[in-house]
Structure 1
Amino acid sequence: MNLTETIEKVFKKYLPSPFTIAIVLTIIAYLLSVLFTKPENVSLYPYSLEVLSFWEKGIWTNGLLVFAYQMMLILVLGHVLVLSNPVSKLIVRVTKYCTNTAVSAAIVASFTMLVAFFNWGLGLIFGALLARKTAEHAQARNIALNYPIIGAAGYVGLMVWHGGISGSAPIKINEVGHIKSIMTSVSSKDILKQIPSLIDYSETVFSFWNLLIFLLVLLSVTVTFYFLGSKSKGTTINLPVYSLCPKEEENGTMRTLDSSKCLAYGFGIAILIVFFYQYGAAILVLKITPNLINFFMLGLGIILHGSFKKFTNAINESISDVSGILIQFPLYFGIMGIMKSTGMVVLISDFFVSISNATTLPIFTFFSAGLVNIFVPSGGGQWVVQGPIVVESALKLGVPLPKAIMAMAYGDQVTNMLQPFWALPLLGITKLKAREILPYTLIAMVVGSIVYLIGLLVF
C-alpha cells in the first residue's frame, strides 16, 4: 500500500465527519477550560456550569452569526456565477487549448488559482467544472488524458484562497472594530491599546509581499502540474456530458416576470449602481469587506443569468454547499466563547510566546494552522478559534499583525490539499475518487508549503 492509499484509508476509517469533529473539539475545549482555568476560590461544580454558559453565549454571538451568513453567501454566490452562461462559455473556450495532459493540467491549475484568489466559492466550482469539461473535450477528440491529474489541478485553488480577496481572516480584519471585538475580554488593556481598528488589504492581500508569494505559488504549482502531466500516461475517458446551464422551465402564471430579461437586467444594474455609490470610496482605499463582495456578486449574478428563474435555479443547485457552514460555525463560536471567557486564549498564546521569537512565531503559526485545518476544515471557523491566539501572541512578541494573520491563512489553506472535505464538490462533479487526486494534491501541498515558508522567512 503506497502513501496516498494509506492517507485515504486513514481519513475514511478514522476521521469522523466535520460536524462530529466540531462536537469533539467542543468537548475538549470545555474539559481543558474546566481543568486549567478554574479559580482556586471557586468549586468545580458551579464553575463547570459557568463554562457551559460561556459556551451557550458564544454560539449566539450576533457578530459571529453575521459572519457565518456572509461566508455562506460568498460560497453560494460564487457557485451561482460559475453556473451562468457567460462563465460556462468561458470554461468551454478555455478547454479548446487543452491538447494533452501537460498543457491541460497547467491551464486548469493556473486558471483555478487565479479565480480562487478572487473568490474561493467561485474558484472551488470553477476548477471542478473546468476539469470536467477538459476531460469531455479530450473525450470528444480522442485525446488520451490522465484525468486524475486534471482533477487535482482543478482543486488547487483551495491552496491560495485564504490569502486572496475572499479570505476569511483578511476580509474580517478589514472591518472596523472586528479585531477588538474578538479580543475584548481576552486581552489585557495594554494589549487592547495596540490593536488597530482595522487592517486593510494594502497590508495583507494586496501587499507587495503577499502578491509576490501568490505569484510564486501560481508559477511553481503550474509548472509542477505541467511536469507531472508530461511524465504521465493518458487513458481514454468515458463521461456523459455535464450540463452547465440547465434549461429554464417555463410554467405558471408568473412565467413572464420570472423569465423577463429586462426586469433581471434592470434590477441587476440597479444593484451595481448602488454598489459603486455605496462602496466606490471603500474600493479606492482597499477596504474590502464581505458585504462589498457579496453585494457585487449578487448584482453580477442576476445580470449574467439574465432572468430571475435561471438565477434562482442556480441558487437551488448551489445551496447544498453551505450545509457544513450552517451547522458547524455555531459550534466553533461556542468554542470561542469558552476560550475567551475562561482565559484559555491567553494561556495558549503564552505557551507559543514561551517557545517562539519574532522570527519563528509566523513559522509555528503556519504549521499549527495547517494542523488545525485538518480538524477544522473551514477558514472562517479556524479564524474564530485560532485568530485570538495568533493576535495575542503576535502583539506580545512584536510580530506585525498582518504577517502573523497571513501566516495563519497560508497554513490553513495549504493543507486543504490533504484534507478532503472541500474536495467533495469537485469529486461529485468530476466523478473522480479522493485516492485518485490525492497523490498530486500532496505534491502541490509540498511545493506550496516551501514557497510560503520561504516567503514568511524573507518578508
Structure 2
Amino acid sequence: MLSRVAKPFVRLVERYLPDPYIFVLLLTLVAFAAAILVESKTPMEVVQIWGNGFWGLLTFSMQMLLVLLTGFMLASTPLIKAGLVRIATLASTPGQAIILVTLVSLAASWINWGFGLVIGALFARQLARVIRVDYRLLVASAYSGFIVWHGGLAGSVPLTIATPGHFTENQIGVIGTGDTIFAFFNLAIVISLFIVVPLVNRLMMPDEKDSVYVDPARLEDEVETQVEITRPADHLENSRILAWLVGFGGLAWLVQYFVNSGTLNLNVVNFTFLFLAIILHQTPRRLLNCLQEAIKGGAGIVIQFPFYAGIMAIMVQSGLAQTISSGFVAIATETSLPFWTFISAGLLNIFVPSGGGQWAVQAPVMLPAAEALGADVARVAMAVAWGDAWTNLLQPFWALPMLAIAGLKAKDIMGFCLVQLFITGTIISIGLVFL
C-alpha cells in the first residue's frame, strides 16, 4: 500500500522540485518578502542584512566540503571498500538492501551526522553494484537515516546545554545528557524510528515497471594504473614512509585528544577521516588521485551555503524567526508546548538549516515560555532538536554531500523522503508529548 501512496509524491517531486540551487534562490525571495511584510522592514534594510550575513557560514561550508572529500577518500581505500563489500553480502534481495542501508545510516547518523551522511551514501553505492534495486529509493533510504542525528551523540542542542558556560546557563543551568539524549522519551523516539523508518522504506519499494535502476558500471571506481617513476619528485609522491609518518602523527594527536576527554565534533570527524585516508591510501599520489574524483561533487556546497547564510541572517536579524516561534508559543499549554516547539523548529529549519544557529534563535523565546507554563525545559530543548532534524527530509541542504557521492539530484529522492516526513513527524510528536 505504501508503494502506491509514495508514487504520487515521487511524481510530484520529480516534476516540480527544482535543483537545490533554484530552491535556495526561491527561499531567499520568500525570506525577503516575509521580512518586509511581517516585520515592516524596508527593502534596503533587508538587502543590508542579507549582504552582511552572506559569508557567515564560510567555516561551516568548508567543514561540510571536507565531510564530503575526506569521507569519500576514506571510503575509497581498499580496506574500507572491502568492509563495505562484506557488509553488503548480508543483503541478497532488493528489500533486504533497502532495510540494511537504512539501518547502517541510522546507526552512523546517531553516532555523528557527518559520518552518517558519508557512510550512508557510499554503502548505497556498494549495494547498487551487487543488487538490482531502485537506486532512487536506495539513496533516499540512506538519507532517511539522517533523521536521528539530533537525538544522538552529536546532537548540537543537547550537547550545548550540557556544556558549562553555555549562553543560557544563567536561565536554565547545565542540563546533562541524562535528561536529553539518554532520557526515556528520547530513547523511545530513537528506537521507534530504528524500527519504523526501515520498514516504511521497504514498503515503499515500487513495482518493477516503475523502478529506476543504475548501471553498476557507472558506480565502479577507475582502475588504478601503474605509476611510472622517472623523477626524484615521483619517489616522494609515491612514498609510503612519507604518508605514514604524517598519517600516524595525526592518529597520535587523536589518541591524546580523546584521552584528555575530547568530544566528537565535526572537526574531529574530518580530522579522523583525513588521516586514516592518508594512511590507508599508502602513498600521497593515490590520495591525490582520489581527491580529484571526490572534488567533482562539491560544487553545490560551495555555491549554495552562502545563500543559506544570507537567509539565516534575514530570519534572525529581522526578527522573523522570533515572531514565528512566539506565534506557536501563544497557543501552547504546558502539555502541548513541546509539540508546538517541534513544529515551529521544523518550519524554521527550512530557512535556518543549522542546529546550533536554530537553538540560538529559539531559546530566547521557548525557554521563558517553558518556565511560565511549567513545562519540562529539557523536553522543550529536545523538541527544538527534533524539529531541526525532522524537516531535513524536506530541505535538500543536508542532502547535498550524499547526492554528490551517489550521483543523483534532489528530485530523485525527495518524493520518498516526503512520505517519511509525515510518518516520522507523527512518531516524534507522540514521543515528545505523551512519553
Whole-angstrom distance in 1 between the partners of 2:361 and 2:78: 44
Greater displacement, 129-138 / 323-332: 323-332
User: 1:412 aligns to what?
Assistant: 388
Q: Structure 1 residue 199: deviation in Å?
A: 6.3
What's the RMSD between the two structures over aligned residues?
A: 3.9
Match of 1:282, SS? Answer: coil
Residue equivalent to 2:140 = 152
Is 1:217 equivalent to 2:190 in the alignment?
no
* Residue matched to 1:187: none
Query: 1:194 aligned to 2:171?
Result: yes
- 2:3 counterpart residue number: none
Give 3-state SS (helix, strand or coil) of 1:97's partner. Answer: coil
Cα distance change of structure 1 residues 426 and 163 upon mapping to structure 2, 3 Å threshold: same
Query: Per the alignment, do residues 306 and 65 of structure 1 end up closer, same or farther by CA in structure 2, a change over 3 Å counting?
Result: same
- 8 Å CA contact 1:29–1:335 kept in 2: the answer is no
Residue 247 of structure 1 aligns with which residue?
224
- State the match for 2:92 in structure 1: 99
Residue number in structure 2 paired with 1:260:
239
How far apart in 2 are the matches of 1:34 and 1:457?
31
Which position in structure 1 is the counterpart of 2:29? 24
Cα deviation for residue 391 of structure 1 reads: 0.7
Counterpart residue identity of residue 153, structure 1: S
**CA distance in structure 1 between the aligned counterparts of 2:353 and 2:10, rounded to whole angstroms:** 24
Distance 1:68 1:87 in 2: 26
Moved more, 359-368 or 93-102: 359-368
Aligned to 2:13: 7
Aligned length: 421
Structure 2 equivalent of residue 391 of structure 1: 363
Q: Is the contact made by 1:345 and 1:388 (CA closer than 8 Å) also made in structure 2? A: no
Mapped contact 2:14–2:415 kept (Cα < 8 A): no
Query: What SS does the aligned partner of 1:379 have?
Result: coil
Distance in 2 (CA, whole Å) between partners of 1:345 and 1:372 is 7
Structure 1 residues 369 and 397: alpha-carbon distance in aligned structure 2, compared to 1, 3 A threshold: closer
Gapped regions of structure 2 (runs ≥ 5): 1-6
> Does 1 or 2 have the higher relative contact order (CA < 8 Å, sep 6+)?
2
Which residue of structure 1 lines up, in the alignment, with residue 282 of structure 2? Answer: 306
The aligned counterpart of 2:128 is 135
Secondary structure of the residue that 1:356 maps to in structure 2?
A: coil
**Residue identity opposite 1:404 in structure 2:** V
1:298-320 Cα shifts (integer Å, max 9, x gaps):
33332233333333333343345
Alignment of 1:9-408 (within 5 A): 9-12=15-18, 17-28=22-33, 30-32=35-37, 35=40, 53-59=48-54, 65-138=58-131, 145-167=133-155, 169=157, 180=167, 193-194=170-171, 204-205=180-181, 207=183, 209-228=185-204, 238-240=215-217, 242-244=219-221, 247=224, 250=227, 253-283=232-262, 287-338=263-314, 341=317, 343-344=319-320, 346-373=322-349, 375-376=350-351, 379-380=353-354, 383-384=356-357, 386-398=358-370, 399=375, 402-408=378-384
Tell me which of 421, 425, 429 is aligned to 1:449: 425
Whole-Å separation in 2 of the counterparts to 1:389 and 1:324? 26
**Is 2:99–2:199's contact at 8 Å kept on the other side of the alignment?**
yes
Q: In 2, distance between residues paired with 1:336 and 1:366?
A: 19
Change (3 A) 1:275 1:447: same
Greater CA deviation, 84-93 or 420-429? 420-429
User: What TM-score, normalized to structure 2?
Assistant: 0.78
Shift of 1:194: 1.0
Deviations 1:174-221 (A, max 9, x none): 7775x53xxxxxxxxxx783165x766555445554344223211222
CA distance in 2, matches of 1:224, 1:277: 42
Amino acid in the other structure paired with 1:450: T
Instruction: Tell me: CA distance 1:441–1:52, structure 2 relative to 1, closer, same or farther (3 Å).
Output: closer
CA contact (8 A) 2:240 2:282 kept: yes
Deviation at 1:342, TM superposition (A): 5.2
Q: CA deviation at 1:390?
A: 1.9
Give me the whole-angstrom Cα distance separating, in 1, the residues matched to 2:285 and 2:162. 35
Residues 88 and 245, structure 1, Cα contact 8 Å, conserved in 2: no
For residues 19 and 149 of structure 1, do their structure 2 counterparts lie closer, same or farther at Cα, with a shift above 3 Å needed? Answer: closer
Mapped to 2, the partners of 1:52 and 1:70 lie a distance apart of 27
